[in-house]
Amino acid sequence: GCVLVVSVIEQLAQWHNSTVKAATERLCNYIPGKYQIIRHMLCCIDREMNADVVCHSLKLCKQDPGQPLCHLYPPPKVSWFSTFFKATDCGSFTGFSSVCAFPLLANLCEKIKYVIRNKLPFEDFDGDKFSTFPTLRGYHWRGRDCNDKNTTVYPGRRPDNWDVKSDSNCNGIWGVDPKDGIPYEEKFCKGADSQGVVLLGDSAGAHFHIPPEWMTVTQMSAKSFANLPMAFTDELDWPQFSEITGFLNSTIGGWTDSLYLRLRRRNRCNHRDLQNISQNGIMVYVIQTLRTYFPINRAVYLSFSLARNQLLDNPAIVIYATIGNDVCNGNRDTLAHMTTPKEMLSNVMQALQYLDSRLPNGSHVILTGLVDGRFLWDNLHDRYHPLGQLNRDITYSQLYSFLDCLQVSPCSGWLTPNETLRNLTSERALQLSNVLKEIARSEKFANFDIFYMDFPLRQTAEEWHKMGGEPWQLIEPVDGFHPSQIAAALGTSITWQKALHEWPQVLGKENPFNDQIEAIFKDQGGH
């Protein structure tokens, strides 16, 4: 993080032909609020040291005994030791145990820790796992609550007495038609196969995204950072635009198309019935820590946050799509830390058994295979990263090596020049996908049927090529790892077509009253 910020400041000074101090003030004025951590970097940057040296001087970066010295830029011509010695009066941040110890960030960090730990909304006054607040695992992640003071009112439940007096399931359909005295919910939604969509996923499903304009100085302005507070309180995820649960028009490029939106178009009674229960890869460490005290696995851990009442709620389509977490980690001995086929079978079966005890009868579960991540290195390694576009000095290969050295790589097995390791990682991913495929083929459950589909990367790339696109545009430009907004939208279309042709029963029937429902909404000034 320090290397990133210092790099941006140095490039701002270069692009605007200004002093480093002026560039820092410019960046501080772009960012909502004043972050003293940036201002503390001034004295070191004024010494014309590169970002690696500055951050080591501030002791925000360090070299552990016996470990290599990690750097993004070429080392200085003089020795690191003498360079650091000159910078000893720059001060350091060793008094802080972490970024969250900074006073301005401490309160926000506590909120984020809560939602990461629980996968539940921070603002949820009635405790029904739904919220009227957008971020901190609020309605960007789950359907918006329409009464946060009543625990029996939430998206996805079966209507209470056909919602004659109030909207108990938050789909906007309630009251009685004055023409015939029939409740609108009964008239339009009875027998309509209403169902929600739930994602149990990883950072790809949560739709991790760092806006490239945050570090591309040629595009940078105050407008670039307007979404920064929202992004941080959503853990740098954008589930509201995602492939499975997206529901807002994308503001991060591309367009939004999601399984939820298509189910809603198919049956307007499904409005707001969505849950995105995904975790970024960093949470793997937290779960490993929890295992010391509780015998749980990642799949079951995600399932615990599901909000579904077997007796009161509608069925749901549950997508299980941890497309990379089981083979991706930042460890040097990455193969030893990958999930084995035996562990995969045990983990997923435990999760499915738990789901069988929670999901209403008539639900569906779709297991999604792991991605073949060799696509990443093949299409990005020799391209310039946004941070390197001004001076054409940082490629994705350099970024991957830097993150790998720090042991924070999102996937050491795929983001590496070692072709043998990339192939072994894909081999393990295929083995784990075959475990999922076999589960779907052979296992039966009381409350849901189960299906398997491969992650549609090849079909997505082919479709994008037909549209005149390049493969690298399907990958997030900043982290060089996650699917982009374009990839998410195209993936939805491919998944939907497969379901229509192979599992039409999963999608439910089309509601013939959709147009009437929308017409009534417009007449009443709704949306």
* 169 φψ region: left (φ > 0), alpha (ψ -120 to 50), beta (else): alpha
| 251/312 Cα distance (integer angstroms) | 36
Residues 392, 477 contacting (CB under 8 angstroms): no
CB of 358 within 8 A of CB of 446? no
Rounded Cα–Cα distance for residues 490 and 131 (Å): 29
Instruction: Report how far apart, in Å, the C-alpha atoms of 291 and of each of 68, 341, 403 are.
Output: 30, 19, 26
β-strands 448-453, 196-201 pairing:
unpaired
Residue 300, C-beta contacts closer than 8 angstroms, at least 6 positions apart:
347, 350, 351, 354
Q: Which residue out of 131, 168, 194, 203 is catalytically annotated?
A: 203
- Strand 316-321 with 274-278, pairing: unpaired
The Cα–Cα gap between 138 and 145 comes to: 9
Identify the bridge partners of residue 201 per DSSP, sorted by sequence position.
Answer: 278, 321
Dump the DSSP string for 272-307: T-EEEEE--TTHHHHHHHHHTTS---HHHHHHTT--
Whether 224 is catalytic is: no
Give the three-state DSSP class for 525. coil
Place of tokens 């073949």: 372
Burial tier of 520 (Cβ tally within 10 Å: 0-12, 13-18, 19+): middle
User: What whole-number distance in Å separates Cα of residue 38 and Cα of residue 75?
Assistant: 23
Q: For residue 208, what are its two tokens? A: 């991790």
Per DSSP (E only), the strands in 170-240 are: 196-201
**Local structure of 376: helix, strand or coil:** helix
Give the residue numbers marked as catalytic.
203
